[in-house]
Each structure stands twice: as C-alpha cells, then as structure tokens.
Amino acid sequence: MKPFDATTGRLPTAPPQTRLTRITFDSCPGSSLCIRLARAVSDATDEYGVSTDAWWKIECHDLPDRYFRTTNGSRSVSELLRRYGFQDASGCVNHRRAVGHYASGYEPLELTGVPPHLRNAQGVPQFYTHSGVCWFCAMCWTSAANDQMSKLVSSHLPDDDFRRVYGRSIYDRDSAESFRKRLWYEMRVGDNVEMPPEMDGQNGFTQFSVMASRLGIPMIRMREHLGKLQKIDPRVTDHDGKTRTLREPKGDEPHVLALRFQDGDHTRFPMLRRITFQGRRYRLVGVYMGQRKCGHQIGMASHSGDWREWSIADADLHKDGIGPMFIRFEGERWRDDWWKAWGELVHVTKFGMGNTEFCSLSPHNHDNDALDVYRGSTKRGTNSLDILYLPADTK
C-alpha cells in the first residue's frame, strides 16, 4: 500500500512487477468506498502500474456499483483523483488522501453495469483546452445513449450523413465535431463554431429544444413554478434570432415530454421513473443537470428504458480519457431506494484555486455549500434539472 496526496496530480511509482489494483481513501474514516481495477483492456502498464486502457469499478456499501473506462493510463487516473471526489452512502466525499494498493495480478470482474453496445462509447470531450462544450456532451448523451430517444431523433434527421455523425457522436470525437458543425451551419443550433473556443457555452436542453423545432420532433415542455408544473410556451429562438415553434404530438406518435426545474426543491419534486401525464404513461429516459456554482452541465441517460441501467456523461472527464460512468441498480432493494441513492452517485467536481471547492451535480440539488468545509448556508442549491420522458409504449 502507498498513501499519497491525490491533489498533486501524480501517482506513486508502482513496486516492481506489480500493478495498481485498488484505490481507497483516508478522508472518510470507516468508509467502504473503493475504486477497483475491473478489467485491463491493455495488459501493458506504465511506471505507476496503470494499464493504458482499463475498466474500473467504484464499490461502496449501500450504493450501486459504478463502472468507468480510462484510456490514457496513469494520466486519466491521476486527473480523476485530482479533480473529482466520490461520495459514500453517508454523503462523505472520498478524495485527496488516497491509498494505492498494488499486486502482481488481479481477478477480472464482469462488467455487469455496462451495456455491450456502449462499451466503446467515450462521450464527447471538451474539444480544446479552453472550450466549453459540456452542454453539447450532455445533449449528445441524453439524445443518443438511450435506444428509444436515439431512434426518435434519427427518424427526423434529414439525411444519412447527419444520422451517421449524430449516432457516432458519443463514440468518436471527429463525428461529434461534424455533428456540432452541421447543427450550427444548417440550423443555427449551439455554439458559433467559427468563434474562439473560450466563447463556447450554452444550455444543452435549450439547444436541444431549438434542434427539435427545426427537425419537427414533437415535444411538450413543462416548468415548475411556485410548486406547480406549468406548460412552457412552445416558441424558441435560434441564433439568427428567428422564432421557431415546437410541434406538439398528434395522437399516439412518439414525442418528448420534458420537465424543467430551475434550482428545484427535489425533496418535493423527486425524479420519478414513471409518471402519468394527460392520461398517458411515460418512462424516464434522460436528464440534463446544470450547476451554476461551477458553470457546468452533465447528462444522464437510461438504456433501453431500463430503470436499472444508467450512465453519466461529463465533457470534463472525457477530455482526460475518462469515459462515462455506468451504474447498475442490481437487486430488489433499489425499487424503493432508487431515488435515495442518486443523492450520492454523481461524482463531485472539484474546482477553484487548487481544486479546493466542491461542486455537486447531484439531482437531489443539495445546498451549494453542503460539501464544503465551511457550512451554514440555508440557500437551496443551484443545480437545475431538465428531465426527459418518452411515452412508455415507445419502441
């Protein structure tokens, strides 16, 4: 075992003939949280004992397992530990004071939480050092990682090339950039791709709404206001300043139902796996989560409408070769505790000078300072959710 300070951005050198097989933390006394090597895609290791390409599993008592892939070896792992923390079931953030565990071999684990068709999905990274395409990563993932949502969007795209780059956007950086450029040049959706990268930055769901208006994807949008859900005006504005109108669904045709919460109180409005709206049943398929505290947005998606399988895409993770986080709610207890678990499952972003501040993107929207050293604020958190549903009978 080798204790180390994860904030330095450097891992300990591995003992001879060993590899890094586990990472634990001393920052939360008694915590069972552990990051374990699940499967080495590449057997080659560097001087820090890290495979250039590997799957890892986050294990923690009273939380579902999480899986993620790293493709830049020790750089991916060191950046993961330097810039993120991981909550255990008590809410304590495991970070900074890490311990590396080394062995000559390891027992490969089954990737039970990762759908086979998404195992090569890398998510959309920040394209450039100073770019801000987190919104685009969230939009691509919530639109393409769920089978039913992907089919709905694809069916409205105008040509095969558009469908190809859209479908490949979560797997391939070049396809994602091609998709982004076509959105801008042909629909005026998203960032002006001719501007400097530091000018990037949008709200993913807002841009998805503009894209839907241009493509004719039917959508109903509702917003929480003063404790009630109210219908949102179907008119949207593209970056040419032109007003477009979202089309409402006709009859039983597939469509998107979106519930928007700005700094919402999610003790009153928890995310529900199934809802009934206007007499029709809907199932949860995706969520945009945007946190004003650190100016960041990530996206969640279910897989094939299965409430047990979820994934989280984060452009900041992906730029360092860290793939999406996959989560499997295995067992019957999660039928009742599913929403409770989401309080701690989303990785905590560290930002600010020396990465000393915590930014929680938990859909529970805890108080902004709930994880910081100095507490006391009673203000609700500033994490806003855009929750996406499809009719339960959508194929």
End of a domain among 103, 136, 156?
Answer: 103
Measuring CA to CA, which residue among 353, 390, 131, 350 is closest to residue 258?
A: 390
Task: Note whether 45 and 51 are within 8 A (CB).
Answer: yes
> Where is the domain boundary, 103, 133, 154?
103
Assigned domain for 114 exists? no
Alpha-helical (H) ranges within 55-193 are 73-83, 134-144, 147-154, 160-168, 173-187
Q: Is residue 152 part of a domain?
A: yes
Q: Is 115 domain-assigned?
A: no
Q: Are residues 28 and 140 in the same domain?
A: no
| Domain carrying residue 81 | 2-103
Number of domains in the chain: 2
The pLDDT tens digits for 226-283 are 888 999 999 999 999 999 999 999 988 999 999 999 877 778 889 999 999 999 999 9
Of 307-311, 365-369, 390-394, where does the model show the most confidence? 307-311
Looking at the structure, tell me whether residues 316 and 384 fall in a common domain: yes
Asked whether residue 111 is assigned to any structural domain, the reply reads: no
Are 184 and 309 found together in one domain? yes
Give the pLDDT band of residue 368 (cuts 50, 70, 90). Answer: low
65 with 201, same domain: the answer is no
- Picking from 52, 68, 103, the residue at the C-terminal end of a domain is 103
Same structural domain, 140 and 69: no
**C-alpha angle 47-316-99 in degrees, rounded to nearest 5:** 40
Nearest to 105 by CA among 166, 150, 39: 39
Pair 97, 201 in one domain: no
Place 32 in a pLDDT band, splitting at 50, 70 and 90: very high
Q: How far apart are CA 200 and CA 131, in angstroms?
A: 6
Stretch (H or E) spanning 221: strand 219-225
pLDDT score at 379: 57
Express each pLDDT in 323-340 by its tens digit: 999 999 999 999 999 999
- Tokens 């750089």, residue? 75
Q: Is residue 110 part of a domain?
A: no
